[in-house]
Amino acid sequence: QVQLVESGGGSAQPGGSLRLSCAASGRSFSIVSTTWFRQAPGKEREFVASFRWAGSGTYYADAVKGRFILSQARLETTVNPTVHLQMNNLAPEDTAVYYCASGSPDWPDSDPAKYLYWGQGTQVTVSS
């Protein structure tokens, strides 16, 4: 089992920035990736970005490419594998509940049905 705990999120104005973090614990050594999805009211869960632990690879949805940046937390700052999602130049359409997920054997993998482990979700609201 892998447990995922998200932090960050909140409210921002258009053009602003927020940072989300996802920390994995439990059998975290087994995970291939830490992936972010988001879900806006009335919409399906949408792939955002994915970080591959082997080789620190990153993959982004077109909607966020060039604005969102994935990074691995410095090992000396945490005992759990942690990925940051830096969200810059936010727009109202970025408003959603953001979830981190792990457990898919594939990378990159944009299908939420293939992920075994999910965080609790964190709200991101972008408005003026």
Do the beta carbons of residue 24 and residue 38 sit within 8 Å? no
The pLDDT of residue 76 is 57
Phi, psi for 107 (deg, rounded to 5): -150, 135
CA–CA separation, 9 vs 34, rounded Å? 17
Compute the half-sphere exposure of residue 69: CA atoms within 13 Å on the CB side of its CA. 10
Q: For the chain, 128 residues long, give each residue's pLDDT as a single digit of tens.
A: 899 999 999 999 999 999 999 999 887 777 899 999 999 999 999 999 999 988 889 999 999 999 999 998 866 566 788 999 999 999 999 999 999 999 999 999 999 999 999 999 999 999 99
Phi, psi for 75 (deg, rounded to 5): -60, -30
The pLDDT of residue 41 is 92
Compute the half-sphere exposure of residue 117: CA atoms within 13 Å on the CB side of its CA. 23
